[in-house]
Structure 1
């Protein structure tokens, strides 16, 4: 199967910029553009993906929880986050979750190519803000959320959207009893006692960059 590079971003101009850099680093590779997470996931499931660049805030994305889901479901696929956020907490959490790189969307094209070339060579690439002195910013949240199964992560994301158990059951095509069982497991794995506390932990992943797109 031919090696492919997946560029996942909902902004066509940004996809074009990333594509130009990818073509320099991986000449001759097939490039697949995805405008949302569903398209990106379909491309990953098709196999043969050598690298994915991932925008954290597409329409159907849940920020770093989306990155966590891709890392757990496709552990052999390197992922480079390309994001409008330059908050060090987001950068550090992305690295902790297992991203191979983090490129701010404000980075010049030569920096983007440098980052992608480093990842292509098997290295990691993160901006200098990731090396600043940490302040215990969300690392515990990353560890606890990593314990959840894919179904539990999906349910937690829906809870964070304000959905009730009945609505979650309908959306996921499962029974309310199954939702309740998952919620009990989520509380246990996160070390919380209610939905509000669970949602607060989920939000810690992307805390520090409210309202940021990408």
Structure 2
């Protein structure tokens, strides 16, 4: 059974699986979600074994997955889920802000990474954003000195996955034409993405955009 896309389920609650080995946190998470009319928890689990079968059985659209479940390697779990269910959206929850792990999880197909201390509204917004027609990656990490809330700058939530791809390739010194060939898009599309990136990051050049993106942990450093 394929995971339904949002267009196939417009008007229906977003179907969510919560996976966390701490029962109190998992129960609280489920209660928070169930209080929303447009969200529903179709299953919860304390381990990742059998998670793919659970996704298939429940036709879940979003999996909220704790990064630190014992006996589980989160990047492998994410890759297996997203390979088997391309329309599935996996959001990672963690008590840690390991940026290298964040990059690995996003590269494996996770659609977001949120620290467990994020406000309730941020978590709910991340779930809704994940199934939007033009979803964007959501990253909320503790970060000293960045904004009063202590979380990563909003630019991290505004760059689309494609814009990140373009900027990562630009950081590798590829030309617009080379980026277009790599992504199998028109060169004009690459230029449009770069214009959008410059505007979102307040950058004045490719180098400026790359530096700002690296400082904000949007793309990996070399």
Range of TM-score over shorter length: 0.5 to 0.7
Runs of 5+ in structure 1 lacking a partner? 137-214
Task: Show CA shifts across 1:26-56 (max 9, x none).
Answer: 6363431111002423311315111111112
Residue 106 of structure 2 is matched in structure 1 by 95
Residue 110 of structure 1 is matched in structure 2 by 121
Residue correspondence of structure 1 range 1-214 to structure 2 within 5 A: 4-25=15-36, 27=38, 29-122=40-133, 123-124=135-136, 125-127=138-140, 128=152, 131-132=216-217, 134-136=220-222
Kept after mapping to 1: 8 A contact 2:33/2:41: no
Higher RCO by CA contacts (8 Å cutoff, separation 6 or greater)? 1
Give the alignment's Cα RMSD to 1 decimal.
2.6
**Aligned counterparts of 2:37 and 2:86: Cα–Cα separation in 1:** 21
Task: Show CA shifts across 1:136-181 (max 9, x none).
Answer: 3xxxxxxxxxxxxxxxxxxxxxxxxxxxxxxxxxxxxxxxxxxxxx
Kept after mapping to 2: 8 A contact 1:79/1:100: yes
- Shift >4 Å, 4+ stretches: none
Aligned CA distance change for structure 1 residues 44 and 89 (closer, same or farther; 3 Å): same
Alignment length, in residue pairs?
136
Runs of 5+ in structure 2 lacking a partner? 5-11, 141-151, 157-215
Higher helix fraction: Structure 1 or Structure 2? Answer: 1
**Aligned counterparts of 1:117 and 1:11: Cα–Cα separation in 2:** 24
Aligned CA distance change for structure 1 residues 46 and 60 (closer, same or farther; 3 Å): farther
Give the alignment's TM-score, normalised by structure 2. 0.53
